[in-house]
A and B are shown apart, each in its own frame.
Chain A
Amino acid sequence: MSQSQATLPLRQKIEHLEMRGITKIFPGVVANDRVDFDVREGEVHALLGENGAGKSTLMKILYGLYEPNEGEIRINGQPVRIRSPKDAIALGIGMIHQHFMLVDTLTVAENIALGLPSSRRFITDLDVVARRTLELAETYGLHVDPEAYIWQLAVGQRQRVEILKALYRGADLFILDEPTAVLTPQEVDEFMGTMRQMTRERHSIIFITHKLHEVIATCDRVTVLRNGRRVASRPVDGCTKLDLARLMVGHDIVLPKITSAPKQGEVRLQLQEVHALSERGTLALRGVNLQVRAGEIVGVAGVSGNGQSELAEVITGLRRVTQGKIFVNGQETTGKPPADLLQLGMAYIPEERMRDGIISDFTVSENVILRNHNHAPYARRGFLLHRIIAEITDRLIRLFDIRTPSRLTPAGNLSGGNIQKVVLARELSRTPKVLIAAQPTRGVDIGAIEFIHKNLLDQREAGAAILLISEDLDEVLSLSDRVAVMYEGRIMDILDAKDAERGKIGLLMAGVRPE
């Protein structure tokens, strides 16, 4: 271990970092295949690629979390060995992970101080850490209370803590693995501001994202991976979104839109004056009224934290309704457990896929049958029918283009976007009567977005009643027959697609009712 490096007072600033010929093999997959990659001081370098292309893997190698099978890393021309995050930190590399790496039960200051030597040696110096954190927060516009516990923080604030952790350690080079995937549009704007401030201070940034307009807006250079190989590396200047999409997936992308008028059927989902509490015990839903008919998509727009997550949870039976009523297919389901809703033909694409969408230690196959495992065709007389399960899973893996070494791979090992496809395969293959889709395209690549959108429209054609909750206004506008705007636990208004223009929705999202 290079313990000595961590204590070296004078470290060279990272002016040029190169990864050369990096190969990483996991059982059954070549995640990186002789990849070359480099970043220069003060540069924002985008790393693009489809879900499972190997972006996170390459960055985890750079941060010392994975050992590459081959290849070398050089800093300012000198070869370096990075065997653990400790080495990476000592060299001036910081990483913000795709799935946050924070200890929920500790405070912000404790999370930042973790693993650092204390200025008082054997006693923690959290007050010093807190003070210094506030200074950094000031410089970079990352406001957060050092005394707050992580579990009390919203997603956007947690991310600030992640960035502060790296800044506090004096990182020169920041690896940002899909930092904007979980942010609201407003938070993304603030985040871009922080990134600009960071490059002004001559920090280098490696930026992974699936949102191509962010690449165009903020990056100097872009490297594209496909199936573990580098397929392009070029300046962003002069590139269009379409160029980038083509590089990523190898063909042109056209996102589908609704064109046909809805085949308005009977009311499948109805909410009457629904109230519910949030995780923290505050009133999250304050009397929601909503109807979704068979064959239509109702989009729910709103700034995150205005009750959208809770709305999905009360409908699917995961959160208690404190007041009001819910009907599915005309039957009252208020207070019914999720299993009963399943019987009524409800399907759910949850927002937190790692927590609510899959069991990560279970195989892809097991995750796919999770909902129906005790019925035909998967089981008979209490026994699982493995041959049939295998056939169906393999078919779904092909149909939904799930990139996995096999159906027996633990779902937790898949890349973020492919985990989402496992959830989709399970939920959509049941031809649901009512579908609740919460942030269905969060963190998935542009090709997969096209695929998911097409599937939602197909379900609509097939007569499903779909509630689409999304923070991506483009997504809501291009897929919805009607748009409901949520603000502070209520539905401000429901607009027909033809009247739903951006400006109007923006005002409603801010709680202003246009005259």
Chain B
Amino acid sequence: MDTSQLLSATVLVGILTAGIRLASPYLFAAIGEMFGQRSGVLNLGVEGQMLMGAFTAFYVTLRTGNPWLGLLAAMAVGALMGLAMAVVSVTWRAVQGISGIGFYIVGMGLSELLFKTLLGEVKVINTGFNAVNIPLLSQIPVLGEIFFRQNVMTYLAFTLVPVAWFVLYKTPLGLKIRAVGENPHAADTLGVNVAHIRYLTVTMGGVFSAMAGAALSVANLNVFQENMTAGMGFIAVALVYFGGWRPFGVLFGALLFSMVMALQIFMQVYRVPVPSEFLIMMPYVLTMIVLVLTVGRVRAPAALTKPFVRE
């Protein structure tokens, strides 16, 4: 096999299709995290929430044969983890960076424990979310294949972006979220309940992170393994900065990252003569470069990581 094959039309379509699919977990997690940060809470526990979501979705789907039940269960678990993070960071005003790491460790350990006691070995399901061809649209040459023969979770993830944009910029709730993350004291003096808003965004963030996990375990891969997210939750946090705390910025970052990821996978498959370690590094190195280049372009929410106290 040689490099020229990599540039053939079918392979390119393959890379793009995979890139879109790979973006979905990042999108869920990063959009959820974006809402939290927009309201002033940095949640570094995304990874742990993703792992718990991935396990719960997988296990429930395995037992019931219904991925929707799996997804719902994962969302419930994510909500609980998000709520716990909210209690610690909003009510108890813990240092957010550290409590987030705590939740990451808890999520990772707990998902591992549950995996060992409830599953014992790596299993594969065939009842996950399969690809769904959108009528008509999927028939469009090339584009149809890339965009409209994806699984439900991928469609959901991409729909989430404009919805998130709408909520953030066009609704009274979004206005409150943005105000609370910039100047909670000002919001407070207008009768906005800062704690309520932060509870809401952080809990929703947990739900979205868990959906990101489900997108992996019952849609893209149909398998659960210990620590299967391998840092994706942290990449999602980085994507929020990268995207300048804006939904479409996050979308752009997630796509860039996942496309390079897909390219890298195909390069390995086609045995491009570069050590695989370097290929695997590619998306991460790219993220770092772009992060460095974009730093200072947009300002973070002014109250990010700052607990709110009235007196």
Chain A residues near B (Cβ < 8 Å): 6, 26, 63, 65-66, 84-86, 89-90, 95, 97, 101-106, 110-111, 113-118, 122-124, 165
Contact = CB atoms under 8 A, between A and B. Distances in A.
5 smallest CB-CB distances across A and B, nearest first, come from A86-B191, A115-B190, A101-B186, A115-B192, A101-B189
B308 to A, nearest CB: 13
B186 A102 contact: yes
Contact of A66 (B176, B186, B299, B311): B311
B125 interface: no
A462 B174 CA distance: 58
Contact of B190 (A105, A117, A165): A165
B189 A105 contact: no
Contacts of A84: 191, 193
Contacts of B170: 123-124
A118 B188 CA distance: 18
B182 A114 contact: no
Contact of A85 (B175, B178, B191, B302): B191
A114 B311 CA distance: 22
B189 to A, nearest CB: 5
Residue among B179, B188, B190 with the highest chain A CB neighbour number at 10 A: B190
Contacts, number: 78
Contacts of A106: 175, 178-179, 182
Given A114-B175, A114-B186, A124-B172, 7 more contacts: A84-B193, A86-B193, A95-B189, A104-B183, A113-B172, A114-B179, A115-B192
Contacts of B171: 118, 122-124
Given A102-B183, A104-B182, A110 B190 contact: no
A89 B193 CA distance: 13
B190 A85 contact: yes
Interface string B220-254: 00000000000000000000000000000000000
A88 B131 CA distance: 55
B310 interface: yes
A26 to B, nearest CB: 8
Interface of A, secondary structure class, is loop
A65 B310 contact: yes
A96 B73 CA distance: 48
B311 A85 contact: no
Contact of B191 (A89, A118, A124): A89
Contacts of A86: 191, 193
24 contacts: A6-B191, A63-B189, A65-B188, A66-B311, A86-B191, A89-B190, A101-B186, A101-B189, A103-B179, A103-B182, A104-B183, A104-B302, A106-B179, A110-B179, A111-B186, A113-B175, A114-B187, A114-B190, A114-B192, A115-B176, A115-B187, A116-B190, A124-B170, A124-B172
B185 interface: yes
A414 to B, nearest CB: 14
A115 B192 CA distance: 5
A174 to B, nearest CB: 14
A115 B183 contact: no
A101 B185 contact: yes
A421 to B, nearest CB: 22
Interface string B156-197: 000000000000001110111011001101111111110000
A111 B311 CA distance: 22
Nearest to A66: B311
A84 B190 CA distance: 9
A103 B191 contact: no
